Amino acid sequence: MQPYTADGLKDEIARRLQVDKGQKLEEASPKDVYYALASIVHGEIMPSWNKTQQKYKDKKAKQVYYLSMEFLIGSLIKSNLLNCGMLNQTIEALRKMGFHPEEIFAQEQDAALGNGGLGRLAACFLDSLSSLDYPGHGHGIRYRYGLFEQRIIHGNQVELPDYWLKDAYPWENRKEEEAILIHFRGEVHMFKKNDGSLEFKHENTDKVMAVPYDIPVVGYQNSTVNTLRLWSAEPYFPPEENEGQEDDFYHDLEHQHSIEQITGFLYPDDSNIEGKELRLKQQYFLVSSSIQNIIRQFKENYQLPLSRLPEKVVIQINDTHPSLGIPEMMRVLMDEENLSWDAAWKVTTGAFAYTNHTTLSEALETWPVEMTEGLLPRIYMIIHEINERFCRDLWFNHKEKREEIPQLAVIADGRVHMARLAIVGSFSVNGVARIHTEILKNQEMSGFYSLYPKKFNNKTNGITHRRWLLQANPGLAGLITDVIGPNWIRRPKQLISLMKYTKDRPLLEKFASAKQQNKQALANFIHQRTGIAVDPHSIFDVQIKRLHEYKRQLLNIFHVIYLYNELKDNPQLDVVPRTFIFGAKAAPSYYLAKEIIKLINTVASIVNYDKDVKDKLKVIFLENYNVSLAEKIIPAADISEQISTASKEASGTGNMKMMMNGALTIGTMDGANIEIHDLVGDDNMFIFGLSAEQVMDYYRHGGYSATDIYNTDDRVKRILDQLKLGEFGSQEIEFKDIYYNILSHNDPYFVLKDFEPYMEAHEIVERTYRDTYSWLQKSVTNIAYSGKFSSDHTIQQYATGIWNLKQFKEKE
């Protein structure tokens, strides 16, 4: 990519406006400038993109395909500029032209094609694959509507459609000529071939075209550009039926609409499945397009027999959502490529690897047999056969497992169990943090672990430090480079060199001032969005993530209510001023999660306007939390709230992002918090609460009474009674459901049990914060150790530990 100077860029933007739109610079709106800029960047990317793909082809490189129903890529303009090495010049050019760079960048709508952690992880992985020169691509769905836009109206979450394609999306290329035909429903007919083997014909099917839209995935200043291929569903027009069908016009319109529905919207559920047929259709649509595409490319580019596909192709499935890829690959290999069952099974299980992202039982996917069989008759036959062979193997070759067969079978209780299908059909099964993998091995999937111990492995999650530090926090990133040089950018573990400076007071001051600037910027943003003035010198205490009972936003807001009560009792109380910042979307059908959002907003509306509280306490709920908002909040965080019920949060990745930006974690020993703790220790974070063992022990043997705590802890009783009696809200009944949920269901997420230790941990936070110097040391220590959580490190481990994939170097 040729380097642009700021002036060169300025001229080029002016030229494009003139040529493409007949516009003078003075007439151009921020949106016009954004499009001109995006088209310049796209033009820069194109040659490297073609070259990269050609190289992979010529050298017959092994490639990894990351299959995911979600890619939460957010906005690409800044990260593309950064990775192309054009960000600084662009900022300068835009300023010279009299624009605010951030205003131009903000013209791009986030691609919110994911719910939360799982989708954002996929996006970070793509960034690392390209930046490390790995041949690795994403396959996903081009939803016309991404995750809903959240509005808060009278404290309630209201969902609006996210029509992110309203304006043209400058990063995608439609590749109609590579479209693929997908078949649903129909009948399967069996024939005997001359050699006595069986042939299956899938006929009278509903046909849908899958059209790919390619988005470039630009590596960090290395000329590698991989592909994120998103599939869109379109009607299929068979060539012979093109004329004289006017009678069917309305029927066709309806039909067309139902087809386009397949890639119409992203299901807004996180860790909770809705067993809707449309969702199953989406899943099969994704895997059938991807698998057919992968096999077609393998045949075209490698000139090898299909039996050798696993030498050149590895397919990582992001949770069980794409696990129908396993029977789909069997179908293509057997029905279209004439491989025997055994040969096809060898290829399939040599190519697939499965990542699990949750142990929550309500998130474990199963599909009713009738639904699966009706929609995907041939695929169902294959799943049935996989199950038969698996159960037979257990019965004859693993006699000790006979009793367990109902718990292991892929089809049981009239349902297809997707995690079991994924485990049986993959050569690798991994969890996303050490504790999570241990729980999979020893609890959730122990039956499979004893059967296939070698399949199971851990790959702790990571985040791209390019987006989450370099791009989101240029102040801090620049300071780090001033101190330790720029090598950390390519080798993030070198951030550890910062440890040499934790006693350098003048330098710590500079870190403090970088944080202060970010806090000021967020305070300005909050003021502009909400009209509320927050004290930029207060502790910015942040919890940003999907709203879920297990993530315990409720525990956080109970702490806020407790502080509020204390201040009401004693307005003179000497406390460090705090600003509690929340961002969270709830699944639209998740009633209790929405009640918690309402509670947070209600508490905010009381606390923020109470004269007794003055500036000591503010509660901010920022609506429509998404990737772009995260980029504004994270650099300003002092405290990172990671307070899930231990054993429930598979990993967490927000914890890593805030650590990398110098926030201190208050958290339970859960998910990746444990690995943060391994690195920085008790001195540099605030650990509290039940351990995973204790939690699981209570679930198994009982012995916990929420009512006892309610009756003995006055602070808890006061808060719960306030909810019940309607002190937070106009109507009496307002938060009764939260009250009853805790007391009549014995507090399933241990909010009351962990209340006391959480309060204590927060007291320690406050004491620590009063000692600015010590706080800064801890903050820098967190930054220094955070390099381990770069997704570059994670991807290296996937590449060597699972994929057997080599970095693609120019000279090879």
**Residue positions annotated with a catalytic role:** 357, 545-546, 551, 653, 657
d(CA 388, CA 412): 11
Binding of ligand 26W at residue 595 (CB under 6 A)? no
- Tell me the C-alpha distance between 556 and 547, whole Å: 12
User: Which element (helix H / strand E) includes 648?
Assistant: none
Among 6, 37, 118, 141, which residue interacts with ligand 26W (rule: CB under 6 A)? Answer: 118
> Residue 125 or 449: which CB sits closer to ligand 26W?
125
128 binds ligand 26W (CB under 6 A): no
Candidate residues 13, 33, 87, 121; the one interacting with ligand 26W per rule CB under 6 A = 121
378/161 Cα distance (integer angstroms): 35
Through-space distance between the first and last CA atoms of the chain, rounded to whole angstroms: 21
Which residues, other chains included, contact 87 with Cβ-Cβ below 8 Å and sequence gap of 6+?
78, 81, 471
**Nearer to ligand 26W (CB atom), residue 536 or residue 671:** 671
Query: Which residue, 266 or 620, has its beta carbon nearer to ligand 26W?
Result: 266
Does 363 help bind ligand 26W (rule: CB under 6 A)? yes
Query: Does 649 interact with ligand 26W (rule: CB under 6 A)?
Result: yes
The residue count for binding ligand 26W (CB under 6 A) is 23
Answer whether 787's CB lies under 8 Å from 495's CB: yes
**Any residues with CB less than 8 A from the CB of 744 and at least 6 apart, and which?**
none
- Measured torsion, CA atoms of residues 597, 603, 609, 611, in degrees rounded to the nearest 10: -160
- Tell me the closest approach of the beta carbon of residue 353 to ligand 26W, in angstroms: 15
Residue number, 114 or 635, with CB nearest to ligand 26W: 114
Q: Which is nearer to ligand 26W, 116 or 689 (CB)?
A: 116
Cβ atoms within 10 Å, residue 272: 17
d(CA 43, CA 41): 5
Tell me the H-state helices in 72-134. Answer: 77-84, 87-96, 101-105, 117-131
Does position 216 bind ligand 26W by CB under 6 A? no
Q: Which residue is nearest to ligand 26W (CB)?
A: 117
Q: Applying CB under 6 A, does 358 fall inside the site for ligand 26W?
A: yes
Nearest distance from C-beta of residue 553 to ligand 26W, angstroms? 14
Minimum CB separation from ligand 26W for residue 672, in Å? 7
Binders of ligand 26W in range 675-734 (CB under 6 A): none
- Of 200 and 550, nearer to ligand 26W (C-beta) is 550
Q: Count the neighbouring beta carbons within 10 Å of the beta carbon of residue 308.
A: 13
Question: CA 223 to CA 372: how far, in whole Å?
Answer: 44
Report the candidate in 113, 172, 117, 120 with the shortest Cα–Cα distance to residue 143.
113
Contact region with ligand 26W (CB under 6 A), list: 129-137, 271-279, 630-638, 720-728: 271-279
Q: Which of 85, 57, 77 is nearest to 1 (CA)?
A: 85
- Report which secondary-structure segment, H or E, holds 310: helix 309-312
* Shortest reach from residue 406's CB to ligand 26W, in Å: 24
Stretches 27-35, 412-420, 645-653, 759-767: which one binds ligand 26W (CB under 6 A)? 645-653
Q: Considering only residues 138-167, where is the footprint of ligand 26W by CB under 6 A?
A: none
Q: Is 77 in the site for ligand 26W (CB under 6 A)?
A: no
232, 288, 366, 651: residue in contact with ligand 26W (rule CB under 6 A): 651
437 near ligand 26W (CB under 6 A): no
Q: Is 549 in the site for ligand 26W (CB under 6 A)?
A: no
For ligand 26W, the closer of residues 116 and 667 by Cβ is: 116
Whether 577 and 567 have beta carbons less than 8 Å apart is answered as no
CA distances, 478 to each of 100, 182, 661 (Å): 20, 50, 13
Strands 206-218 and 180-184: antiparallel
Residue with tokens 């990398």: 660
Among the listed residues 131, 224, 387, 461, the single contact to ligand 26W using CB under 6 A: 461
| Token output for 720 | 């719960």
Does 432 participate in binding ligand 26W (rule CB under 6 A)?
yes
For ligand 26W, the closer of residues 627 and 650 by Cβ is 650
Site residues for ligand 26W, window 300-319 (CB under 6 A)? 319
Q: How far is the CB of 629 from ligand 26W (least distance, A)?
A: 18
Sign of the four-CA dihedral 19, 24, 27, 33:
positive
The yes or no reply on residue 117 touching ligand 26W (CB under 6 A) is yes
Grouping H, G, I as helix, E, B as strand and the rest as coil, residue 233 is strand
Q: State the nearest-atom distance from the C-beta of 176 to ligand 26W, in Å.
A: 30
Instruction: Determine if 127 is a binding residue for ligand 26W (CB under 6 A).
Output: no
* Residue closer to ligand 26W (CB basis): 157 or 647: 647
Nearer to ligand 26W, 119 or 155 (CB): 119
* One of 140, 216, 671, 787 touching ligand 26W (CB under 6 A): 671
Shortest Cβ 653–ligand 26W spacing (Å) = 5
The b/e string for 223-232 (b: 16+ C-beta within 10 A; e otherwise) is: bbbbbbbbbb
| Element housing 211 (H / E) | strand 206-218
Task: Record the tokens describing residue 549, joined without a space.
Answer: 């009972």
Determine the distance from the C-alpha atom of residue 645 to the mean position of all C-alpha atoms in its chain, rounded to a whole number: 20
Binding segment (CB under 6 A) for ligand 26W, from list 15-23, 115-123, 322-330, 439-447: 115-123
Question: Under the criterion CB under 6 A, does residue 93 sit at the interface with ligand 26W?
Answer: no
Least separation in angstroms between residue 621's CB and ligand 26W is 21
- Please state, in angstroms and rounded to a whole number, the distance separating the CA atoms of residues 556 and 552: 7
Beta-sheet strands, E only, within 110-205: 111-113, 136-141, 146-153, 156-162, 173-174, 180-184, 187-192, 198-203
| Segment contacting ligand 26W by CB under 6 A, of 117-125, 220-228, 334-342, 746-754 | 117-125
φ, ψ for residue 748, nearest 5 deg: -60, -20
Contact stretch for ligand 26W (CB under 6 A) within 2-10, 216-224, 267-275, 534-542: 267-275
Q: Among residues 316, 653, 777, 794, which is the contact residue for ligand 26W, using CB under 6 A?
A: 653
Classify strands 411-412 and 415-417 as parallel, antiparallel or unpaired: antiparallel
Helices (H), 646-752: 654-660, 673-680, 692-701, 706-712, 714-725, 736-744
Alpha carbons 592 and 737: distance in angstroms, whole number: 8
Select the residue interacting with ligand 26W from 273, 371, 575, 606 (CB under 6 A). Answer: 273
Nearest distance in Å: CB 69, ligand 26W: 8
Residue nearer to ligand 26W on the CB measure, 121 or 679: 121
Residue with tokens 């390519």: 490
Residue closer to ligand 26W, measured from CB, 89 or 556: 556
Contact between 439 and ligand 26W (CB under 6 A)? no
Residues in the site for ligand 26W, rule: CB under 6 A?
A: 115-118, 121, 267, 269-273, 319, 357-358, 363, 432, 461, 649-653, 671
